Structure 1
Amino acid sequence: MLSGCSSAAESSSDGPVTLEFWTYSLKGGDPAAEAIIDTYEKANPGVTIKLSEVGGTAETSSKLLAADRANETPDVVQVEYRALPSLVVAGVVKDITADVADSKDAVDENVWELTTLNEQVYGVPQDIGPMMFTYRADLFEQYGAKVPTTWAEYAEAAAVIRAADPTAYIASFSATQFEFFAAHAAQAGAEWWTNDGESWTVGIDSEESLATADYWQDLVDRDLVIVEPLLTPEWNAQVNSGKILSWAAASWVPSVIYSVAPDTAGKWESAPLPQWTPGDAAVSFQGGSTFLVPEKSKNAKAAAEFAAWLGASDEGSELLLSLDIYPGGNAGREATLTADPPKLMPQQTDFYAVADQVITDTTIPVTWGPNVNVAQTALGDALNAAALNKESFRDVYKATQATVVEDLETQGYTVSE
């Protein structure tokens, strides 16, 4: 079902070619982005890269689908990993397995899994999100809260913080963290989507998944986390004032917090994500994006070569570091080990060493279904209402399961129990 079609556009990279590149990481006018493009163009005379800035994944995906219908697709497109299955199923993404064969050893297998469906590669990884726990080290120490190594300890630390300062919380509970909830459920052994090539199975209401819903229900009901969406003016103010003390997500968190609370730099540190099962450090990635080649690209061969260089080559993946992202390529990942720590924690010189170990422990593959957008909307809206009204999170997960299954069946997919 996910195999797609062989490309109808196998244009050679020989001769002058202009590659239209839809991206939100490389921005025209940004010196770092321009340097990356200049490097490639100088090494590949006759190849011109035309940057076109696009919005987030939802906007990019809808634009790509429209461009495919109009036979006017770009040549390289950046999308988040979670969007890839739906685009593959729609037949708008080229299978580039053969094109990237020489690059396979330049990216670890657990990273390639993010762009691989039924053993076929549909994208070159750009960046990855090793899951980490970023926290106010000074206030944890001041309040006597232990940095949690398990989610049970996280709940204990939350209670200690609330007792020490009734106006402070360990974190906010934001119902919009769809990818985090999926990753947390995966930690507990759940698989929200699985596919055997013929049918889909949905496990949002599995007992493993519901156990994580119960966990967050308990913290919300006990007022150990504050119900507040991320990055609102209120959230930003509370982070700045030391009233929200942590954010469990991925390695990109420090750059986000620094962007809204630069005056708190030097007070934060990052540690591995708390474990669901003590002694089991296995996690999945959260976030990150890939470079794909549209099925109808008129310069597919040259496009795949550029994508492989940018995401997987030693030179390209190291240059991606200049964009303040975590490269998926091994060379870029190795380069982080000698890079300065994020601006948010200049004193934590082992930040990238910790993150590198997390990547090694990232052994839980997460399969995104073709209707992830439906699940995200269904879960987020209802979960926010349940948190505010002290209603059942379990019921929200079960309702989301029903909505996702119904949508798959409506679209004509076979769904297995």
Structure 2
Amino acid sequence: MSSTSRWRRSLKKTTVIGAVGLAVIAGLTGCAGATPAAAPETSAADMKAAVDKGADLTLWTWSTNVQNAVDAFEKLHPKVKIEIVNVGTGAAHYTKLENAIKAGSGAPDLATIEYSALPQFALKDALVDLNKFGFDKLEKQFTASTWNNVNVNGGLYELPHNAAPMALFYNKTVFDKYGVDVPTTWDEYADAAAKLHAANPDTYIAADTGDAGTTTSMIWAAGGHPFSTTGDSTVKIDLADKGTKKVADLWTPLINDKLLLPAAGWSTEWYQGLANGNIATLTAGAWMAGTLASGVPTGAGQWRVAPLPTYEKGEKASAENGGGGYAVLKQSSTQKQLVAAAFIKFMDAGDGVQVMMKAGQFPSTVADLDSDAFLSAKNDFFGGQEVNKVFAQSAKDVLPGWQYLPYQAYANSVFGDTVGQAYNGSTTLSAGLLDWQSALEDYGTQQGFTVTK
């Protein structure tokens, strides 16, 4: 479980990017008891007036394609200038953002924040609640899972910028060569792992050295709910729940029988394995389609996309794996907040959606996911397959109710020290998950949360 999202990849085995302060403890994304949004404090006319007046904004992101939306917005609104600044990827980005928030100055007007990290910053009262602009009325434009990801305790802190529904990416050439059927269930996946490796000891069903992001997505797809928050400050962690146990039971034999290539995601060995057929599959979000095409160009025509396997034949179950959006910082002036909000609406719920899709962005907007043009688009890298049909169905099959911890970045940073040890034989996967739970319980208690099991 090591194919890490571009939005997540630098969080692996990194230092925690900042604690959740005692004074700002609140409920987690999508938690029960969230209060309805208040009436908008500003109108569309206010935003238009602000955009017409103009402003110079600073946007912190490591995204390489958001410049397309910036250029389109600036062309429409010549008095607006948006400077994109890359202060680092993943943890480095969050550390600098955290430091600026603590200092009370130096924060950008807009910043990339992944869905998994959003609660941590929302709880610090550092982000503008977009409900004040009436953006809560845009809910029906987005998939339910991505909308849930940007709502924290009744506040709306981003619009969904992208979606990352999971799928099984597989090397058709390898499966055909060894006469192995593409798995539709996880039992079939385990069987395929054994058959491929028996046919060629250099061929593995997947590469894995342990990754928090993919592991949590797999638990999500298995129906697990290991993290939840009730009320204002009670966090429940159960990394032995039914869904988590399903994943541990599936993955443990693969580790023990050495059916997984011990190569970290994004490493040279990982890319080589994808190119030469030593890695036969990837379980990842829709963004992996672009990553394969750009990172493994020699694999063109060999790879295909299939639905994520399920635990029961014919079951409909998937999860998100990665993704994020853009938040407005409270340090920004009122005028700049209005302009920043207008840009977000343009990019994520307006004409900018098409601009971003042309730049390779996978949409979170229902209308685009359902459009004939999107669904019927043929992808040359995947042998002309209409891969968007697989991704769009996966988006509909994402299981509801998932929550991230309000200190998920910290959780991801200690994954390697706990669960990750199972991959080198120092512990079992189930024991490693319980070690992870213990570490997260201790940290949550230190931060003032009431942690229950």
TM-score by length of 2: 0.83
Give 1:280 deviation, angstroms. 2.3
Question: In the alignment, is the contact (CA less than 8 A) between 2:127 and 2:157 conserved in 1?
Answer: yes
Distance 1:312 1:156 in 2: 43
Match of 2:415 in 1: 379
8 Å CA contact retained: 1:187, 1:364 = no
1:2-401 counterparts in 2 under 5 A? 2=27, 13=50, 15-26=53-64, 33-68=66-101, 69-99=103-133, 100-175=135-210, 177-198=211-232, 199-298=234-333, 299-313=336-350, 315-333=351-369, 334=371, 336-341=374-379, 344-348=381-385, 350-389=386-425, 391-401=427-437
- SS of alignment partner, residue 325 of structure 2: strand
> How far is the alpha carbon of 1:93 from its aligned partner?
1.4
Structure 1 residues 250 and 210: CA distance shift in structure 2, 3 A: same
Contact 2:87 2:96 in 1 (8 A): no
1:99-127 CA-to-partner distances (Å, cap 9, x unmatched) read 21343332233321110122321111111
In 2, distance between residues paired with 1:92 and 1:60?
15
Contact 2:158/2:325, CA 8 A, preserved across alignment: yes
Q: Secondary structure at the match of 2:167?
A: strand
Q: 1:228 to 1:281 in 2, by over 3 A?
A: same
Q: Which has the higher contact order (CA 8 A, sep 6+)?
A: 2
Contact 2:378 2:384 in 1 (8 A): no
Distance 1:197 1:57 in 2: 30
Give me the identity figure in percent. Answer: 26
Cα deviation, 1:306-326, whole Å, max 9, x if unaligned, reads: 11211122x111111133221
Stretch of structure 1 that moved more, 263-272 or 60-69: 60-69
User: Which blocks of at least 5 consecutive residues in structure 1 are unaligned?
Assistant: 28-32
Distance 1:234 1:358 in 2: 29
Higher mean C-alpha deviation, range 394-403 or range 372-381:
372-381
Determine helix, strand or coil for the equivalent of 1:71: coil
Deviation, 1:372, is 1.4
Residue 413 of structure 1 and its aligned partner are, at CA, apart by 1.1
- Tell me, what secondary structure is at the counterpart of 2:132? coil
User: Post-superposition shift, 1:220?
Assistant: 1.1
Q: Which moved more, 1:370-379 or 1:158-167?
A: 370-379
Superposed displacement of residue 327, structure 1: 2.0
Call closer, same or farther: CA 1:245–1:371 in 2, change over 3 Å. Answer: same
SS of residue in 2 equivalent to 1:309: helix
String of CA shifts for 1:161-201, please: whole Å, max 9, x gaps: 112212211111231x2121112112223212111232111
The aligned counterpart of 2:21 is: none
Distance 2:376 2:356 in 1: 15
Give the residue type in structure 1 aligned to 2:405. G
Is the contact between residue 54 and residue 339 of structure 2 (CA under 8 Å) also seen in structure 1? no
Q: 1:188 to 1:331 in 2, by over 3 A?
A: closer
- Determine if contact 1:312/1:330 at 8 Å carries over to the other structure: no
Residue type at the aligned position of 2:167: M
User: How far off its partner does 1:229 sit?
Assistant: 1.1
Deviation at 1:44, TM superposition (A): 2.7
Distance 1:161 1:228, change over 3 A: same
| Cα distance in 2, alignment partners of residues 45 and 331 from structure 1 | 29
* In the alignment, structure 1 residue 414 sits paired with structure 2 residue 414: no
Partner-residue secondary structure (3-state), 2:253? helix
Partner of 1:30: none
Amino acid at match of 1:371: Y
Tell me the distance in 1 between the aligned counterparts of 2:144 and 2:421.
39
Partner amino acid for 2:92?
A: E
CA shift, 1:399, in A, is 0.6
Q: Which amino acid aligns with 1:46?
A: K
CA–CA distance in structure 2, aligned partners of residues 158 and 97 of structure 1 = 48
The RMSD of aligned alpha carbons is 2.4
> 8 Å contact 1:282–1:364 — kept in the other structure?
no
| CA apart distance, 1:80 | 1.1
Deviation track 1:355-412 (CA, whole Å, cap 9, x = no partner) reads 1111111133431112212222322233333222263111110010010011000011
In 2, Cα distance between equivalents of 1:230 and 1:316: 31
C-alpha contact (below 8 Å) 2:222/2:317 kept by paired residues: no
Cα distance change of structure 1 residues 280 and 346 upon mapping to structure 2, 3 Å threshold: same
Single out whichever of 42-51 and 238-247 deviates more from structure 2: 42-51
User: Could you tell me whether the CA contact under 8 Å between 1:161 and 1:169 is conserved in 2?
Assistant: yes
How many residues are treated as equivalent by the alignment?
Answer: 406
Seen in structure 2, the aligned counterparts of structure 1 residues 38 and 236 have a Cα distance that, compared at 3 Å, is closer
Distance in 1, matches of 2:332 and 2:263, equals 43
Cα 1:244/1:38, change in 2 over 3 Å: closer
Structure 2 unaligned blocks of 5 or more: 1-25, 28-33
* Distance 1:224-1:34 versus aligned 2 partners, 3 A rule: closer
CA contact (8 A) 1:220 1:227 kept: no
- Assess, with a 3 A threshold, how the Cα gap between structure 1 residues 331 and 59 changes in structure 2: closer, same or farther: farther
Q: Deviation per CA, 1:47-94, whole angstroms, max 9, x where unpaired?
A: 222222232232222222222223232111112111101111122112
Secondary structure of the corresponding residue to residue 161 of structure 2:
strand
Question: What CA distance in whole angstroms lies between the structure 2 residues aligned with 1:95 and 1:356?
Answer: 29
